[in-house]
Each structure stands twice: as C-alpha cells, then as structure tokens.
C-alpha cells in the first residue's frame, strides 16, 4: 500500500483521538483541591513512549505500509476514538490533564466507566497500539510501548489512590468489579 496510507492512518488516529480533548479542554476549569503529583511522571513516560513509536525521519513516512499492518492499526482506532469521545463527556467538568479531585468531585461510573475505570488511558493504549502497527519499527515500538505502559500504570495507581481517599469503600468495590483499562482483565 502506498506511503500516503501510512500517513493517513497514523495522523487520522492521532487527530481523532486528540479532537475531543481539545473540544472539552475548558471543562476542567474548576479548581482542583487535591492532585496526584506522581501522575506527572506517568505523563512524561507516556509522552516518551508515543515519541519513540511515532517519531521517524521523513524518509520513513514515504515508505509503503503492508496491508495487514494498516488493517491491524485500524482495528485499534475504532475503540480509541470511541473511548476518547465518550470518556471526557462522561467526566464532564471533572476532566483534566493531570489526576486531580475537585471540591464536588463525583465517582463517575457511567458510559465507558462501566467497562473500565480509566477509559481515557485505555483510549491512549489503543492509540499507541495502532501506532505500533502503522508506524512502529523494531526495536523502537516495543521500547515505546513499555515506556507508555509504565507511565500509564503510574497514572492509574496515582488516580486510584486519590479516588480511594475520597470515596473509600465505594471506590474499593468499583475497583474490585471493574478492570483498570483492559476490559475483562482484572
């Protein structure tokens, strides 16, 4: 398949993921009363993981993509987009870049939060997996994926600590019943 397909699949996945966050950016304007500082390290590792998977010299982007890689990449784009669009919408004004709690924070368990506790992180995982297929090169993609997962685990644990501190037994019950970011995996 042509090199244009590689670029369209990669950029389309990224733009489809990023658009809802740009649209919902003003929602998290309520002042946070508690933040998880450790989540910054997770954000940095996730960003580094994306950089390792997606950043290539221009000549690479001119090379054709194998059809099976394009198809596998698109398999991850659909859940990526669905989770990216529904996650922030269900969080509403509670959505923000860094894990934080507001004074009137609620435990959201609707929409994609019925399936996983962290659908936005699940969306990001789908995005990087899509990138591993559409533009990943050996040995960069496994390194990038590992960095991303380490960062995501830091963020999940930091956010879970915040929510447990605020909601106690109610959050603990939800945590036992609902996987973090991989459906059907506890």
- What is d(CA 68, CA 71) in angstroms, rounded to the nearest whole number? 5
Most confident of 4-13, 129-138, 154-163: 154-163
How far is 128 from 143, CA to CA, in rounded Å?
12
Q: How confident is the model at residue 1 (pLDDT cuts 50, 70, 90)?
A: low
Compare 39 and 146 and report the one with higher pLDDT.
146
* pLDDT value at residue 127: 94
Condensed to tens digits (0 to 9), the pLDDT of residues 93-133 reads 777 777 777 788 888 899 999 999 999 999 999 999 999 99
- Among 161, 125, 159, 162, smallest CA distance to 46 is for 125
Work out the pLDDT band at 58, boundaries 50, 70, 90. low
- Global pTM reads 0.88
Where does the pLDDT of residue 91 fall: very low under 50, low under 70, confident under 90, or very high at 90 and above? Answer: confident
Q: For 3-24+40-177, which CATH class?
A: mainly alpha
């Amino acid at each position: 398949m042509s090199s244009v397909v590689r670029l369209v699949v990669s950029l389309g996945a990224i733009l489809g993921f990023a658009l809802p966050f740009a649209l919902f950016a003003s929602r998290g304007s309520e002042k946070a009363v508690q933040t998880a500082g450790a989540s910054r390290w997770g954000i940095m590792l996730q960003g580094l993981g994306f950089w390792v998977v997606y950043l290539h010299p221009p000549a690479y982007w001119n090379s054709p993509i194998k059809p099976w890689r394009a198809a596998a990449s698109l398999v991850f784009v659909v859940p990526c987009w669905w989770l990216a669009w529904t996650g922030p919408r269900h969080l509403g004004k509670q959505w923000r870049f860094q894990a934080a709690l507001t004074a009137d924070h609620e435990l959201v368990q609707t929409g994609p939060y019925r399936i996983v506790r962290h659908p936005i992180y699940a969306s990001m995982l789908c995005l990087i997996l899509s990138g591993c297929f559409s533009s990943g090169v050996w040995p960069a993609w496994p390194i990038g994926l590992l960095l991303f997962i380490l960062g995501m685990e830091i963020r999940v644990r930091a956010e879970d600590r915040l929510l447990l501190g605020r909601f106690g037994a109610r959050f603990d019950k939800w945590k036992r019943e609902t996987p973090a970011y991989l459906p059907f995996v506890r």
